[in-house]
Structure 1
Amino acid sequence: MASLAEVKAFRGEEREWEDRSWFPPGPQLAVCLSGDKNRLGDLTDAELCERMAAARRQASWAQAQELAAIAELAARRHAQDEHHDPDYRVLSARESLLEEVSVALAVTGNAAATLVHLAERLTHQLPGTQEALQAGRIDLAKARAISDATDHLPDHLCTRIEDTVLDGVEERTTGQLRGKIKRLVRRLAPAELAEQTRRTVKGRRLELWESGHGAAGLALIDIPADDAAAVHNKLTAVAHGLKQDGDARLIDQIRADLALQLLRGVPLPEAVRTPPAQAEPSTPAVPDTPGGDGDSVAEMVGHAARRRLEELRAHVEFHGRLADLPRLAARAVEELHERLAPLRDTACGHGKPGYRPPTALRRQIEARHATCVFPTCNRRSEHCDIDHTTPYGTRGTTCGCNLAPLCRRHHRTKQTQGANGAAGWRLFQPWPGVLIWITPAGTWHITLPSRQ
């Protein structure tokens, strides 16, 4: 197989942002981002994706430097407090620290307190998270999510949860990350979670703020999750009833108007209630699923399937350096799909008649994937379309090896593959529940069963 240098020499190409996913953040990457060869119009789609990811890694690195400086200053102020008797007439060194950070960064006192707390937690309780931020594996929002979700937990539990969630953290959104930590805390520290919930709910409040253009926001903050879900589900059921009666407003508008009427003392209308299955719960309980984070992938896809996935990864990683990545990546996945066909036939059997999947099969698909299978989507699968990965009527069957939940938005995204002659999204399911997305730029992402 030709080397990368030989391929580039043959093609007469040299791409500034080619294969930069390995480039760590720091001074060298800063030079690359600010160099002369950074004209965005000259970059391919894949190179633009590399550049935006590199800029995000660099921003994470810079934020890690900021937090490290705050933590060091905090340590010095703590030391000053220990060597001086408290005097109620002056600010303590700790209180003075918050003012220093506030002035240095031009942020409010509350924002300064949040930064100091995060900096100290990353330094003392969550060093792995600090290292991941420094390396650009996570951004500041994910670091905050980990810190907030493990606050008030014993150090040994913080370490255990941190080690677990940092595995594969690059592929998770902040919402997915919070959900994973919540399930871990519920399982490993139920008493601590109950106490943390009690303390949080004790600070419940109603907040009002201006949102601009003559509008405002009004929200109940830190109320019990079950109560919040019950109120939301009640309003949703009534909103759907009004919608079925011909109300032209959007569901969100109806819910907001109903909540405002209730708070002003106007009773709910006598709308037709829809069955609970048609409501949209805001915070549904997510059961712990065996293998929910890919721990039992070997059992799910089989040894042969995993081996072929590794072949695919190596194949795409080499060809991913070329300009025609979308075509080559799709061809590699199609080849994998064909090579796994005999195994799928044996394991699955196929043979569900008709286009619409039976209820039992739909429930099986929803149990396999708790959410939409788009890599960054958290839409619950029971509120998604059950999509034929390979279109029905061509080579696609109504079977577990060809069905997956897609929310309406990402169902439409998948339908745009190659529309109007443009490069589109490609979706493959080489093994039941294992989805491979290829973006228009040629990057690819794997969604495993029960991705949370």
Structure 2
Amino acid sequence: MARTCGSDGVGLSPHAGALGAYAQVLDAAHAVDVSLVRALAEIGRSALRVAHVDGVRGMASDMELRSVAAEAAGLAGRSDRRLQHDIDHAMTIVDDYPAVFAAWETRRITRDHVEVIVKAGTVVPAEVRGAFAEAAIEICERDIAARVKEPLRVLAERMHPREFTQRHRDAAAGRCVRVLPGADGMSDLIATLPTVIAAGMLDRLTQMGQSVRDARGAGAAFGGAAAPGQPEEPDARTMDQLRADALADLVLAGAPAVDPTYGTDAPGPLGAIRARVQVVVTADTLTGTDHGPAEAVGTGLVDADTARELAGQTTSWDRLFIDPVTRTPVEIDTYRPTASMRRLLQARDQHCRFPGCRRAAIRCEIDHTIDHALGGHTHIYNLAHLCQRHHSMKQFTDWNVRQLGGGVLEWTSPGGRIYREDVPVPAVCFTPESGPPPGAGTGARPARHESRGAPPPF
């Protein structure tokens, strides 16, 4: 994400004074934060030197480190356990990721970027950590931390010497369900499952919850009934509560009690709902020339075998070809947003295109960058996905957006700051669609998008 502004950064805003003061505080806080991490790392090094284990990592049980952490905790008025964790984390940043620390110190990236890089790098072996850090910094310079989590996770997986597919097979053998007792008569039911299964479960529970909310009142939902003579009221439960109740009914009764197909999974108001998962996968992974992971948008990584299996189960699917030079989706020359255009936009955008928003495209609305009522064409480079919140904000506030070509969006805030939203990494996208396939041709050439219908839900 690129950002530019006027000479004073906020001169165009009526809030210039307040924003300017905030910018000064951010500068001071950055300097303090960098110094604090450096100081904590030096405390850890000092403890390791005294214990004659200089250079050894993971000394959480060493008495000298415990002792100095307790003394530092007394200075800070904090828990010594928490302080020791902070010391170890600071040593990881400064010693294991020196290039990342330097980039943060010079403000090429933010502290949030540092945390995301370190977390993603936990799967990267030490011998490739330096190369991973340099590549990660380049990614972070283009976007905010919330938007680089998935690209960094994919980068880390691709740089691992052992293929993701092999590691996924081993990990899948450990799938399980467990209960963690909680407070006030509650417990956490935790299922460790392949990502594509977990994403599908969450999507289906969400659809079921919405169906119950739309169709039944609070008294009638999930088998209850309103009092005689009393009108049903709208369901007051939150979506989290609806999902939890639907999961309990599905597991205990086989299907939600409100479903006439009770005890089965046959078609019905809720039983007919099928999960919808948007999967993006490179052409190399799809064809088997590369075994890198695909991505379940908004959820996590999917092993190559599963991605190819999903693709093979579809009766028809869209192929998206990428310009070999610009690496951006190629324009479709059509007036109205056809089904193929919508699928192309989902593959291009992957999520809401407002800076920092990660809501998946399948949960967003397609917005005309230049309003159709003002002469804007329904064209692939005048369309972008926006979630309902940011779609409304574009319409009713002074935030402005324009398309620079290639799917790149440039947002201007009411204060004059400019944020550039680069197009996500191009990929092949599978999304469900009802209705018969339009039946386009089967030939394919570079830099063309050909529609052959949409895949069924999987």
Normalised TM-score (structure 2): 0.63
Question: Which amino acid letter does the alignment assign opposite residue 93 of structure 1?
Answer: E
- d(CA) in 1 for partners of 2:355, 2:338: 26
Deviation at 1:242, TM superposition (A): 1.8
Deviation of 1:182 after TM superposition, in Å, equals: 0.7
What residue is the counterpart of 1:283 in the other structure?
299
The offset of 1:373, in angstroms, is: 0.7
SS at match of 1:299: coil
Unaligned 5+ runs, structure 1:
1-16, 22-39, 85-89, 289-294, 303-346, 418-423
1:386 aligns with 2:402: no
Q: 2:38 aligns with which of 68, 88, 99?
A: 68
Q: Cα deviations across residues 365-394 of structure 1 (Å, max 9, x unaligned)?
A: 111111111010111112211111111133
Q: Aligned in 2, Cα 1:219/1:204: closer, same or farther, shift over 3 Å?
A: closer
State percent identity of aligned pairs.
Answer: 21
Which one-letter code corresponds to 1:149 in the other structure? A
Letter in 2 for 1:389: T
After superposition, where does 1:34-433 map in structure 2 within 5 Å?
A: 44-46=14-16, 48-82=18-52, 92-151=63-122, 153-167=124-138, 169-170=140-141, 172-189=143-160, 191=162, 218=188, 220=190, 225-226=195-196, 228-247=198-217, 248=235, 249-259=237-247, 268-270=255-257, 271=259, 272=270, 273-277=272-276, 283=299, 285=301, 299=326, 350-353=333-336, 357-417=337-397, 424-433=398-407
Secondary structure of the structure 2 residue equivalent to 1:404: strand
Deviations 1:238-278 (A, max 9, x none): 32332342352442331134456779x67652441423239
What SS is found at the alignment partner of 1:429? strand
In the TM superposition, residue 436 of structure 1 has moved relative to its aligned partner by 1.0
Task: Tell me whether 405-414 or 95-104 shows the greater mean CA deviation.
Answer: 95-104
Using CA pairs below 8 Å that are at least 6 residues apart, which structure has the higher relative contact order?
2
- Structure 1 or 2: more helix by fraction: 1
3-state secondary structure, aligned to 1:151: helix
Q: CA deviation at 1:440?
A: 0.7
Q: Residue 278 and residue 372 in structure 1: after superposition, are their counterparts in 2 closer, same or farther (change >3 A)?
A: same
Q: Per the alignment, do residues 173 and 160 of structure 1 end up closer, same or farther by CA in structure 2, a change over 3 Å counting?
A: same
| Amino acid corresponding to residue 78 of structure 2 in structure 1 | V
Contact map agreement 1:241 1:274 (CA 8 A) in 2: no
The answer (yes or no) to whether the contact 1:429–1:436 under 8 Å persists in 2 is: yes
What is the RMSD of the two structures over their aligned residues, measured on CA atoms?
4.3
Match of residue 449, structure 1, among 390, 399, 423: 423
- Pair 1:182–1:284, CA change in 2 (3 A): closer
- Partners of 1:205 and 1:164 lie apart in 2 by 38
- Write the letter of the residue equivalent to 2:30: S
SS at match of 1:276: coil
Q: Partner of 1:401: helix, strand, or coil? A: helix
Shift of 1:144: 2.0
Against the structure 1 CA distance between its residues 349 and 285, is the aligned structure 2 distance closer, same or farther, given a 3 Å change threshold?
A: closer
Distance 2:43 2:250 in 1: 49
Contact 2:6 2:417 (8 Å CA) reproduced = no
Count, aligned residues: 348
Q: Which amino acid aligns with 2:96?
A: Q
AA aligned to 1:399 is: H
Contact 1:65 1:134 in 2 (8 A): no
Q: Cα deviations across residues 46-83 of structure 1 (Å, max 9, x unaligned)?
A: 55445434433432321221111111111111112127
The residue number in structure 2 matching 1:434 is: 408
* Structure 1 residues 370 and 440, CA gap change in structure 2 (3 angstroms): same
User: Residue 374 of structure 1 aligns to a residue in which SS?
Assistant: coil
Superposed CA offset, 1:102-128 (max 9, x none):
333333344223312221111221012
Go from structure 1 to structure 2 and tell me whether the alpha carbon gap of 1:296 and 1:75 turns closer, same or farther (over 3 Å shift).
farther
Measured in 1, the distance between the counterparts of 2:403 and 2:349 equals: 13
**Unmatched 5+ residue regions in structure 2?**
55-60, 218-234, 260-269, 279-295, 305-321, 427-458
Residues 220 and 352 (structure 1 numbering): CA distance in 2 closer, same or farther, change over 3 Å?
same
SS at match of 2:273: coil
Offset of residue 138 of structure 1: 3.8
In 1, Cα distance between equivalents of 2:111 and 2:182: 25
SS in 2 for 1:71: helix
Matched position secondary structure for 1:376: coil
